[in-house]
Amino acid sequence: MTLPPPETPKKPLLTPVRTWRPGARLRTYLAAGILVTAPVGLTLYLAWSVISYFDRKVTPLIPAPYNPENFLIPLPGLGLLIALIALALIGWLTTNVLGRFLVGMADRVLTHMPVLSNIYSAIKQIIETTVSAKSGSFREVVLVEFPRPGLWAIGFVTGKPPAEIDEAGGGDIVSVFCPTSPNPTSGYLVYAKRSELRFVNLTVEEGLKLIVSSGIVTPDHHAPPV
């Protein structure tokens, strides 16, 4: 009688051992702390820097008998408050005849000054175009094929180009400003046919958030159709 061969003992299954790595946990906690505190900290820092700047520049201009800090505790933001009041007074002054005369005279002087005239004219046009309530600039967010076909960049329709450019392009040409990321103050001016643009249902603020955040911050709601 032949005996069956003895069974080979089964090896126990190896269970993975979870090792605790304090370095990895510390990096995770540190990154989470930075993500939570950085937006709040930078916002407060910038706000405090602006307030401190106006306090340093404006408060020393107040005569000593009228400076509240000489007989009260220091008041943070006093310089900023005075600067806002001064700007409001200047705006009120420009609404009467004397104010318009002074503004017009300063405008004529700066317009005819060499070198400064170009800078003054450019800044004036940008501010008037952006601030004017009647202007339609920066009211439409579009996608434009830039810098080559197949690649899409976010742009803002800024208006109609000169007649010469519109005729050379075949008509229906619009001016599109394509900001760079993450600095939207620089960018490229592109002339494109309106029919070749893709209009996006985003507000200007949401489009700027995408550019400043390099696409990280996306809108969490749908804007009304353009």
pLDDT in tens, 188-218: 888 989 989 999 988 888 888 888 888 887 7
List alpha helices for the chain, DSSP H: 22-58, 78-93, 97-111, 116-131, 163-168, 204-212
As a whole number of angstroms, the distance between CA 52 and CA 61 comes to 15
Instruction: Decide if 186 is inside a domain.
Output: yes
Q: Is residue 89 part of a domain?
A: no
Q: Is there a domain that residue 202 lies in?
A: yes
Number of separate domains in the chain: 1
Q: Do 198 and 142 form a contact (C-beta atoms < 8 A)? A: yes
Highest-scoring range by mean pLDDT, 4-13, 102-111, 187-196: 187-196
Contact 140, 156 (CB under 8 A): yes
pLDDT at 183 > cutoff 60: yes
92 within some domain: no
For residue 37, the SS3 value is helix
Higher-pLDDT residue of 166 and 5 is: 166
Positive or negative, the Cα torsion across 121, 124, 127, 130?
A: negative
Residue 28 lies in a domain: no
Residue 131 has pLDDT above 50, yes or no: yes
Euclidean distance between CA atoms 148 and 156, whole angstroms: 18
**pLDDT at residue 133, rounded to an integer:** 44
Is 160 within a domain? Answer: yes
Counting residues of the chain whose pLDDT is more than 70, the rounded percentage is: 77
pLDDT-based confidence at residue 132 (cuts at 50, 70, 90): low
Q: Mean pLDDT of all residues in the chain? A: 77
pLDDT value of position 198: 92
The answer, as to whether pTM is greater than 0.75, is no
Q: What pLDDT was estimated at residue 128?
A: 64
The closest alpha carbon to 156, from 193, 208, 210, belongs to 208
pLDDT of residue 72: 66
**What confidence category does residue 3 fall into, taking pLDDT thresholds of 50, 70 and 90?**
low
Q: Which structure tokens are listed for 149?
A: 């076909």
Chain Cα centroid distance, residue 130: 14
CA distances from 69 to 59, 82, 84, 101 (A): 9, 13, 18, 37
Q: Is residue 196 part of a domain?
A: yes
For residue 177, which of 151, 148, 204 has the smallest C-alpha distance?
A: 204
HSE at residue 10, side-chain half, CA atoms within 13 A, is 3
- Enumerate residues 6+ apart whose C-beta is below 8 A from 184: 208, 211, 212
- pLDDT one-digit tens code per residue, 40-81: 777 778 888 888 888 888 877 777 777 776 666 677 777 778
In a domain, 38, yes or no: no
Q: Residue 181: exposed, middle, or buried by beta-carbon count in 10 A (0-12, 13-18, 19+)?
A: middle
Query: Which domain, by its residues, includes 149?
Result: 141-212
* Integer Cα distance of 194 and 172 in angstroms: 6
Q: How far apart are CA 141 and CA 197, in angstroms?
A: 10
Task: Report which of residues 77 and 168 the model is more confident about.
Answer: 168
